[in-house]
Amino acid sequence: MRSHTIKSHGAKVAKYHMHDWLILLLLVVIEVILYLIHPFYRFVGKDMMTDLKYPLKGNTVPVWAVPLYAVLLPIAVFLFVYIRRKDVYDLHHSILGLLFSVLITAVLTDAIKDAVGRPRPDFFWRCFPDGKELYDRWGNVICHGYESDIKEGHKSFPSGHTSWSFAGLGFLSLYLSGKIKAFDRKGHVAKLCIVFLPLLAASLVAVSRVDDYWHHWQDVFAGGLIGLVVAAFCYAQFFAPPYNDEGWGPYAYFRALEESRSNSNAGQAMNALNVQPVNAQVMSQRGRRNGDDFASLEELESGRMRTHGGNKRKNSSREARLKMHRQRQQDLIVEEVKKCFTGKTRMNKMCFVLINEMKADEAIVSLYKS
């Protein structure tokens, strides 16, 4: 089977999925808007501040590092697999699935963040950086901290770091489990170490968000769940489950493989049928050279017959040979047409070609229609 490279099939695959890439750009725009708008500023009373006085710390995992390990690292793995297998379907669909997984997760996460507006564990110091509390007559906080800190302080639920991590690394974990055939029922449990490694990295990121007091444990739990679910759905759009026998490749690859085999088999069938008239003509010429009075098929069809050595065949013998030759040709066509039904697709276009090109009789036509 020849390779499906970027050069040979890349433009075709990208054009076929053009609308998917346009939707991807739309998701980027939506994500930017959700990030810029203000979240819901929910009521925060004095008695609630008891659980919101954790120290204001920096991020153990900076924001800029999240796209590196959640997006670029998996893409590097996809490129490595492409270099070895030369399958543009696998490369394209894995990258497209990964980007959809991360961006859908980002949109869901930020939409929920803005709608919920849950304060972070360090909200007190964001709201009152000098430690002087101030409340209105209803008991709600009157913050006098930096506006950016206050805005970020209302985006606790769910955790964005965690959801992005599980969306990207969770997709990578599914991808690797399919590629190494981790569930091939052969008992190589060591393969699971490779499968769980990306999930472990995502889990450590989630733990760091709680340790930095940027999130409550419920935030990271919900973020991890969102990322994993979205990653599983996006992976299932392009790849079979990892435990499937065809889980090591994308659906598109196996479709291309089946089409290639079907076209190859159809071409071989046509070549076999085209050889028969040539063989009949060669045998006729050999017969004439050996003194045999057996004529070519065209001569038999037109009723003309050459004689050699002054001996003529009787009409009954000639008709019998002609009938026998026709029967052999018909049997050959019938056998070739029957091969059309051995594949998965019953209505094979090549069957029409065989019938039309070889001018099959009514018996063959009825066989095809049955």
Question: Catalytic positions, please?
Answer: 161, 215
Grouping H, G, I as helix, E, B as strand and the rest as coil, residue 56 is coil
Residue identified by tokens 């930096």 is 146
Measured distance CA(80)–CA(129) in Å, rounded: 49
Measured distance CA(346)–CA(340) in Å, rounded: 7
Contact (Cβ atoms closer than 8 angstroms) between residue 243 and residue 148: no
Contact (Cβ atoms closer than 8 angstroms) between residue 139 and residue 46: yes
Measured distance CA(284)–CA(300) in Å, rounded: 11
Beta strand segments in the chain, E:
none
Residue 176 neighbours by CB under 8 Å, 6+ apart: 77, 182, 194, 195, 198
Residue 112 neighbours by CB under 8 Å, 6+ apart: 157, 158
Contact (Cβ atoms closer than 8 angstroms) between residue 93 and residue 179: no
Please give the distance of CA 313 from its chain centroid, rounded to a whole number. 68
Contact (Cβ atoms closer than 8 angstroms) between residue 271 and residue 358: no
Q: For residue 22, how many other CB atoms are within 10 A of its CB?
A: 9
Measured distance CA(310)–CA(298) in Å, rounded: 22
CA distances from 86 to 2, 14, 16, 81, 89 (A): 9, 16, 19, 8, 9
